[in-house]
Every structure is written in structure tokens, then in C-alpha cells.
Structure 1
Amino acid sequence: MNNIFSGLHVGLRALETQRKSLDVTGHNIANANNENYNKQRAIHKASYPYTAPGLSNHGGAGQFGTGVEIEQVERVKDQFINSQIFNETQTSGYWEEMQRGLEKVEYILNEPSDSGIDSSINQFWNSLQDLSNNPSDDAARNMVRENAYNVIDSFKSVENQLNDYKESINDNLSNAAADINNITNKMADLNKQIVSVKGSGQNPNDLLDERDALYKDLSELINVQSREDAQGNLVVSTQGLQLVNGSDAYELETKGNTDDNSIPRMEDQLIHSRTGTEIKPTNGKIAAWMEMRDEKLDFYAGRLDKLAETMVTEFNNQHQAGYDANGVDGGNFFEPIDNSSNQSVIAQLDLTAAIKDLENGLDKIAAGNKNIDTFVELDTLGNNLSGNYQIEVTENTSNSDQLDIVINDTDGNEVYSDTGINVDETINLSVEADGGISVDTDPAVDAINDFTLTLNKEGKRNITLDKSIGNGENANALANIFNSDEVIEGASLEGYFRTIVTSVGAESSRSQQMKNNQDVVLKQLTTLDRSISGVSLDEEMANLIKYQQSYAAAAKYINKTEELLDSLMTIV
């Protein structure tokens, strides 16, 4: 009689086990499209036998089985592959943001284009060429000034956009810190639930899936390490600082590098709230943002500053070597750069007040050549002089450290001579009414017919006292600054800028390649992981049929057992 009733229990256990197995299969099918879900499997085992060995037991057939039960609902997961996915996710996040950042810098530089720095430099160069051909044309002079403004505006536009990008990175850091805190708080809460479920002897499979998904999201942002303790808590840390320990989460915060609200926070730091320690991630999106902000952007901004400073210095030097429209020595064209200023070089870019002057500024552009670095320097002192002469400077016969000078008119007649003049000495002369030249007897008073000569070395050449505005040679020399080699690091100004652009392009291309490589690696690992842990509908349909048939067979077994019981009761 007992054996018949035990048969009912065997059948009931079989029904319950197959039904629960069908529930597990249904749960798998329901989550077939959940990328964070790992399939589960019901592990069957024989339930504890009916009789245990003992002295009171008869020596018959031995123990009788009591059926089947579910030992556990197993989560199918390869932890080694899972760990690799987390590690590669960090690297993938880094290269994704690095590529995106360099692409942003390429967009800011906007080359090649019709509105970038290179284009504005070319337009400035063209206007200087036009001025060299038409130095007396106010329209040509105005184009030089306007295109100089365009060059300044182009530099400042790029710098402003780079600074804006820096600020946006700080915003990203603040948002990322909030995201990290949200993730770690959720993980701490999940730790508490998982420990509770494990304490009851069950497997918290869905909770573990949720915690793994959060850890993957965290890995994409920052390089983290983890370990699981004996109770089932996931302990998460970065750079030796804990973010999650049991049900406790330690938040991160961003802090500016200055307490002065009037100064923009250009370099926000990531701080561990519990210890106050600064965190400098080495992988993940945040590491890419910080490297972009603190290294890449500063590097390219520094190179642009160097280009701008060299342009200002070289252009001003050459501009001072010419005459303006009034025959006066050229001054600075751009405002000189103050290296002691807190402002960047580009922020200081501006034209001098003399050049910007609306009434006389165009006349201050020094397009004419005043023969600097020749054996003799001519300065007409701004006077409206005329006349062509031949100057010959020779070594003094009595003193080799001194020079003699002879000036002849166009007919070869001597109009002036002098001896015993020191090297680099300036002599003050005047033009006579008949075209002759005499010593200026009162050099302290500038007369309208005065001019000076400075003797540098021996030589012979023809000179003109006409205003040098007519030759445009200095405008041509100013234009040559932009395409002459050896101006800056062995390159021209224009060539140096192009090296900046190509450098950004090369880095962006490399980052894109590294991102693509990481995508391939991560895809392969994910495919491998899904082949093990992912839900296969074909496999689940086979399990569905298997468990359904087992359930039906168990039901038939119960029916047969019930028939036996009915027969027995009839006999009784």
C-alpha cells in the first residue's frame, strides 16, 4: 500500500519538476532578445531515496528511488569570456571617444575650406601681392588691412572653439560622474538583494545579469576592477579606490582647479568623495576625455600659438624694414606679443592702433623698401624728395676702420664727397635747389630737403630719393614671409600650419583604426559569449518538447498508479 502511495509522490515530483523546467524554458524564450540576459538551465537530480541503510531494514532489493527534483536553476555563463568583454569594453570606450574628439578638432580646424586659417592666410598673401604691384592704391592697402583682420579672426575662432570644446568636456565629466554614481548605487542595492537570495540557498540569476550589465556600462566609462566575495557581493574599485563594497557605494565628484568663479574651470578633476583623492583614469571614455582636454587640445593650441607668434614677429620685423605711404619708417603692423601676459598669444592678436586708424591707417602700411641690410641705408625723413644718384663707399686709405664716400649725379658729376667716416655712422645731408648735395649744417632741425645716409660697408649702387612707396618691394617681402622656408621649425608659416592639420588627421585616422579593431575584437567576444550564454530558440523549442513529453508521461504514470489504487480499493 505504501509503495502505491509513494508512486503517486514520484509522479507528482516528476510533474512539478517538468513544469518548473518548462517555466525556465519559457523564461529563456521570453528573454531571447534581451542582450544582457544569460540563458538558464534547470539541473535535474534524483530525489533522496525512500529508505536509508540500517539494521532494521530487510535485506531486499535495497533503496527505492523517490523520483526527480530540480537541484538548481543554473545560469550559463563563461566568466573568463565575460571578464575579457569587460576589459575590451574599457578600451573600446577609450578609442571611441578619442576618435570622436580628434574628429571634432578636425572639424574645428576646418581644413581644407574657404573659411579656415589657411584660406585667410592665402587671401592675406594675395592682397600683399596686389599691394606690391599697386603700392599707391588705397583699395589695395585696404584689402591688406581687412585680410589681416580675417587672419586674426580665423585664429581666434579656432581658439574659441577649442576652449568651448574643453568646457564641453568638463560638462561630460560632470555627467559621467553622475552616471557612475547612479550605476554604483544600483550595484550596491543589487549586492544586498543577491546576498539575501544566496543566503536562502537559491541562485539570483536575473539579479546577476542585471549587475553584470551595470558593470559593463561602468567599464565603458572608467577602468575598474572587481572581485566577488564569499557572500556574493561584487567589490568594485578603480586605481585601488573602492566604488562599491557590499551594500555601500562611494561616489565620485568633479571639482574645478580654481575656487575663483571669475576664471573658467578648464581642467575639472575627478575626486573620490570618501578619500578626497584625485582619480586619473587610464582607460574608458573618461580617460579619453581627460587626455583630449589636458594633452591633445593644449598641444594643438600651443602649436597654433607658436604659429601666430612667429607670424607677428616676422611680419613686424619686415614691416619695420619698409617705408609707409609718407616715406616714413614702417612701425609694427601687429601688436607685439607680451609673453608675460596671462592671455594666450592668439587672444592678444590685433593690429596696432596706427594701422587701425580710420583716417591715416592705410598710409601706415609699409609697402616700400628702404634698403635695409645693404652697404648704405637711406632715410628720407618723410620728406618729399626727388633725384637719382650713384653712391660709392670705399675703404679710407689712412684708416682701414673708416670709410670714404663719393656721390655722383646721373651725368657722373661729383655732387658730394667725404672721408674718414666711421662704420655705421649716419651723415646728415640736404638736397640743394640745383640737385646738388651738401652737409646738413643743423641736423637738429629737420628741413624739407634733409635726408640721412648710414654707411655700413664698402659698395657701389644707384639710389633714388623718391618716396619708396612706388616700388612695393617691402609688400612683396611681407608676402614672402608666408611661403619662405626656415621661418618656423624648418618650414614656412603656411607649411607649418599644414603640418598641424595633417598631424590631427593622422591621429584621427589612427584612432579610427584602433576603434575599428576594438569593435572587431568586442564583436568576436560577444559572439562567442552569446554562443554559450545566449538563448537559442531552436534549443529552447527542443527543450519545450522534451519537457512537455516528460510532463505528459508523468501524468500517464499517475493515472496508471491511480488505476492500481482503485483496483486495490475494490478488492478491499
Structure 2
Amino acid sequence: MASTFMGLETSKRGLSVHQSALYTTGHNISNANTIGYSRQTVNIVPTTGFPGIGMNSPKIPGYLGTGAEAGSITRVRDQFIDNQLRQETTKLGYWGTKTEAISQMEDVMNEPSTYGLNSAFDSLFKSFQDLSAKPENSATRQVAIEKSNHFADTLNYLGTQLGQIQTNLKTEITAETKNVNSILKKIAQLNEQIGTTEPNGYLPNDLYDARDNLVDQLAQYFPITIEKVPSGGNAKDIAEGIYNVSIKLSDGTKVDVVKGKESATLTAQGYSSQTDAAGVTTYTEGDFDDSETFTPFTQFTVKMGATGTATSLDLAKLNNGSGILQGLVHSYGSAVRDPGGLPVNTINISGLYPEKMADLDKLTLEFAHAFNAIHNSGFTLAYTDANGVVVPSQAGGDFFVAKDATKPMSATNIMVSPDIAADLNKVAASDAADMEGNGKTAIALSNLKTKVIAGLNNASAQSFYQGMIGDLGVKGEQALAMASNSATLQASISNNKASVSAVSLDEEMTNMIMYQQAYNASARMITVMDETLEKIINGMGRVGL
């Protein structure tokens, strides 16, 4: 026979479990707008029925239930969706970074426009075409020099601005590396907190959310894998345990970055070069942060903990599209390692900005050589100087020269010869001496607009530049399309995740009413049992009184 007070205990459990469910519903509602919060649910399970198993257990007609209890309070998550989201986040991190880098380059190039290098080419060639018609006219000579200065200044601007953006990318690599290290440290700290909570039989759901949010942030930088390690002790079977986080390489191997409460520190590696008087170049390898002259490898050192052994992480061993850092390095540029260690020379540097800047320098150098060769074959204008001295016609000199004669001519190191800029008569427009109306050299210079230059892949200078712009446009279109696709997929997966894990106020309000009614019903049951007991205690056994 069941206990007289069994009904009270059953209903009391009903009060308790639905009170817990109401508290959890309130917690969900409070965090409806908390980023990364996963809605929680109380898993209500029945308690052990009456009677128990045994030879001495009472024999009753049926098996009586004894109520319910909160078996656990868990997060509502889908691990498959989480993994999908992190994979797309990695791709979006790469292509978003690449798109931004290309966009900044396109802003500098600014083509097609009335102020870009293509327009400067047109103005330069037109000014020498006009000069060929009136080679003796000082006004046309002045215009030719001004347009030439504008052309050189445009190259200077492009080279300087691209170099500045590249420097900004270097700063960003350093900043993002520090951000990665901060994320890894926080994950390890949460591992430690979770590892001290789970063995007591609790599920620290909010700590789980905080840790998963950090893992999602880390997925922007690298493709990652997670190994769950049990905390031990009295941890529940459904406890998520400790996260060991690794970066997954394309060959299937892994580089550990979090192991329990220990986190790794990543440091970008680079090298600096110094050439002695004999022309021998010495390379010094070290941390990328230490010198403005360092060029990065695709390599990072990964040191686990304060005293751990440093291992190598080579971004070249990741699949293309593997996060923000790879996107930054592919944009800023990286040096390919020689099998013997350091690179043979800096010509091995590859990447969006180094390649485009090298093309611009190549264009500058080859065009200046071709222009100077024609100008050197021409002749200046004879004139009488301020002192009355007659200056005869003579062969023209280099029209474009390096600002710093100790360095090769480049986009940032080109200008019109100061001698020619200071004396209009030194523009060699004629192809013969003492022929004032001869403009054949000037017309030859203007014909460089279409003349093939061997050093520019057998293209004219302007066509070579247009090819650079076309290639940049193709790369920009590809990066934008990939970033758009990744963003669309990520948004779709995020919506799927939200449908599973996010808080729906409508659903929570429905749950609140359901749990409230169940709580009220349990309370009413206690009232009924109280009245029953009151009748038993005060109304029975009073016959004859």
C-alpha cells in the first residue's frame, strides 16, 4: 500500500520541476538578444515509480508514478550546423579580406578615369604630338614638360600609395595575429573553468556558449578541428568536456593551438636582407614584428604554453581560402622558402601587392628606357642664353631619370630630368641638328603610344598598363563573387542555426503559459491532498464522540 503522504511528494516534485522550467524560460527571454546565446531547455523525466523492486515490496494492483524531476538543463545546438558555419566562416574570412585588399588597390588605380595613369599616358603622347607640329614654339615645349611631370608624378603617386596600403596590410597581419593569440588564451581559460565545474555534475551552458563563440571567431582565421576530452569526476555523460583545438592542414595533419588550459602563441616569421659592398646578400630570419624591413614568409611559429616547444605552421600548406591571415599574407606578399632555408633572393616574393608593384616598376623602367633612347637620338634647339652666348643644337640626354641615382628607376623613383625641366630648349624634338622646324623626334616619342616594347611582354606601355588593370579587374570580380557566395551560404547556415538555437519569444511565451498552468495544477493537487489528509486526520476515528 502506498504512503498516505505520497500524493504530496508527487505534487511537490511537480511544483519544483515546473518552477525550474519557468526559471529557465525566464533566462531564455532575458537573453533573447544576447549574441551567441543558445536557448536552454529543461529535460523533464519521470522519477522512479512505486513500489521498488524486491521480495519485500508491497503488492498493489499497478505501478504508481511518483512524479517528475529535472533530469538536466541543456543547450539546444546542432553540431553539424556548427561545423558547417565554421567552414563557411573560414572561407568568408579569406575572400572578404582579399576583396578589401583588391578594392583598396582599385581605388588607387582609379581606372577608367580622367585622372589615372592611362589618362596621363594620353596627355603625355598628345603633348609630344602637338610639339612635333611646332617644335620651335616655347609654349608647346612647356606643355610637353608639364605633361611629362604629371606623368612622372602619377607614377610616384601610384607607387607610394600602393606601398602605403601594403604597409597597412603588414600592420594588420601583426594586429590579427595578436587577436588570434587573445582568442586562443580565452578558450584555454574557459576550458579551465569548465573543467572545474563539470566534475561536480553540472552543465555550465553559458560557459559553453562563450567558448563556442570564441571558436566561431577563431574559424575566421583558420580551418579548425575540435577534439572533446572528458573532464572526469562526476561529470554527466552529456557534458561537453574540454576542447582541444587544432588547425587543419591540407594534407590532413594538424597543428595544436589549444590543449586543455594551455594555449599557443602564434608569431609571424620573416626575413631581412643586407647586401655588402661586394654584392653578397645576407639574410636574417626572425619575428615579423621586429623590423619594418621584414618581409613575411607564409610561416608562423606556434609555441604551446610558456615553456612549450615551438612548431611550424606554414600557411602554404592550407587549402586556398583558409581564413583572414592567409588572405592578408596573399595580399601583402610572402617569400617562398628555398629548400635550404632562407630564400635565394627577394625575387621569390609573391602576392597581390608585390606583383602589381613589380609590374608598375617594370612598366616605369622599360618605358623610361624606350623614351630616353628615342630622346637621346634627337637634338635640342639652338638658342642664345641670357648672356648673349649662342648655345648650339646638341644630342638630347635622358628625359626621365631616377630621383635617387643610387637606386633603380621605379614608380616611386622617376622624374623629368632637372636639366630639361629647367631649360625648354633641351627637349630634343628634332632628329637632326640645327633644324628648328623639325619635329620628327617628337613625333617618334608620341608614337610610343602604340610601339611594342620587348621588355613589356611585347606590348606597348599603355597596353601593358591596361592589361594590369584588366587582370586586377578579373581578380577583383573573382574575389567579390567568392566573398558573395560565402556570405550567402554563411547567412543561410546562420539562419538554420538560429532556427535551432536562437530564442523565439513566441515559443518562450507559449512555454511560459504551459509551465505556469502545470505549476498551478500541481499546486491544486497539493490543495486536494491537503483536504484529503485533513479529512483523514480530523474526520476519521471520531465515532461515538
- Give the TM-score, by structure 1 length: 0.78
CA deviation string 1:22-49 (max 9, x = no partner):
1112222222223412222211111123
1:470 maps to 2:437: yes
CA distance in 2, matches of 1:344, 1:300: 16
Question: How far apart are the structure 1 equivalents of 2:312 and 2:407?
Answer: 26
| C-alpha distance in structure 1 between counterparts of 2:365 and 2:425, whole Å | 25
Counterpart residue number, 2:343: none
Structure 1 residue 483 and structure 2 residue 446: aligned?
A: no
Quote the residue 1:248 is aligned against.
262
Which one of the candidate residues 484, 488, 496 is aligned to 1:528?
496
Q: SS where residue 220 of structure 1 aligns?
A: coil
- Is the aligned partner of 1:290 residue 2:329? yes
Structure 2 residue matching 1:234: 3-state secondary structure: strand
Residues in 1 aligned to 2:399 and 2:208: alpha-carbon distance in whole angstroms: 69
Query: Aligned letter for 2:128?
Result: L
One-letter amino acid of the counterpart of residue 413, structure 2: Q
Alignment of 1:104-253 (within 5 A): 104-231=104-231, 232-238=241-247, 239=249, 240-253=254-267
- DSSP 3-state at the match of 1:21: helix
The equivalent residue for 1:408 is: none
Q: 1:199 to 1:342 in 2, by over 3 A?
A: farther
1:365 match: 427
| Deviation of the 1:135 alpha carbon | 0.8
SS at the partner of 1:17? Answer: helix
Q: Which amino acid aligns with 2:78?
A: D
Counterpart residue identity of residue 363, structure 2: L
Match of 1:314 among 353, 370, 388: 370
Instruction: Answer whether contact 2:51 2:58 (CA < 8 A) is retained.
Output: no
Alignment of 1:512-523 (within 5 A): 512-523=480-491
Give the 3 Å change call, closer, same or farther, for CA 206–366 of structure 1 in structure 2.
Answer: same
In structure 1, the residue matched to 2:71 is 71
Partner of 2:473: 505
1:120-173 CA distance string (max 9 Å, x none): 222211221121111112222222222222211111111111111111111111
Deviations 1:342-364 (A, max 9, x none): 656224323345424x3xx3222
2:420 matched to 1:355? yes
CA contact (8 A) 2:129 2:446 kept: yes
- Report what 2:360 is aligned to: 304
Tell me the CA shift for residue 313 of structure 1. 1.3
Report if aligned partners of 2:365, 2:409 keep a CA contact under 8 Å in 1.
no
545 and 304 in structure 1: CA distance in 2 versus 1, 3 angstrom threshold? same
Does structure 2 conserve the Cα–Cα contact (< 8 Å) formed by 1:337 and 1:345?
Answer: no
- More divergent stretch after superposition (254-263 vs 313-322): 254-263
Deviations 1:365-391 (A, max 9, x none): 210023xxxxxxxxx6xxxxxxxxxxx
CA contact (8 A) 2:221 2:323 kept: yes
The structure with the larger Rg is: 1
CA RMSD of aligned residues (A): 2.4
Alignment of 1:319-338 (within 5 A): 319-326=375-382, 327-335=393-401
Given that 1:313 and 1:336 are in contact with CA atoms closer than 8 Å, whether structure 2 keeps it comes out as no
Do the aligned partners of 1:280 and 1:287 also contact (CA within 8 Å) in 2? no
CA distance in 1, matches of 2:377, 2:195: 82
Distance apart, 1:2 and its partner CA: 6.7
What is the CA distance between 1:97 and its match in structure 2?
1.0
Conserved? CA contact 1:322–1:366, under 8 Å: yes
Partner of 2:347: none
Identity of aligned residues (%): 28
Counterpart CA distance in 2 for 1:103 and 1:336 is 30
Query: Contact between 1:309 and 1:337, CA under 8 Å: does it hold in 2?
Result: no
Native 8 Å contact 1:90 1:219 kept in 2: yes
Q: Return the alpha-carbon distance in structure 1 between the equivalents of residues 510 and 267 of structure 2.
A: 51
Counterpart amino acid of 2:416? L
Q: Offset at 1:17?
A: 0.3
Q: How many Å separate the matches in 2 of 1:366 and 1:136? A: 11
Instruction: Name the count of aligned residue pairs.
Output: 473
Structure-1 separation of matches of 2:53 and 2:394: 122
Matched, 1:279 2:313: yes
Rounded to whole Å, the distance in 1 between the matches of 2:142 and 2:532 is: 115
- CA distance in structure 2 between the partners assigned to 1:267 and 1:202 by the alignment: 46
| Corresponding residue of 1:541 | 509
Where structure 1 has 5 or more consecutive residues not aligned to the other structure, the ranges are 371-379, 381-466
User: Does the C-alpha gap of structure 1 residues 508 and 363 become closer, same or farther in structure 2, counting only changes over 3 Å?
Assistant: same
Task: State the alpha-carbon separation in 1 of the partners of residues 417 and 500 from structure 2.
Answer: 72
Say if 1:195 and 1:233, in contact at 8 Å, map to a contact too. Answer: yes
Answering whether residue 410 of structure 2 is matched by residue 345 of structure 1, we say: yes
- For 1:316 and 1:285, the matched residues in 2 are separated by 44
Deviation at 1:263, TM superposition (A): 5.6
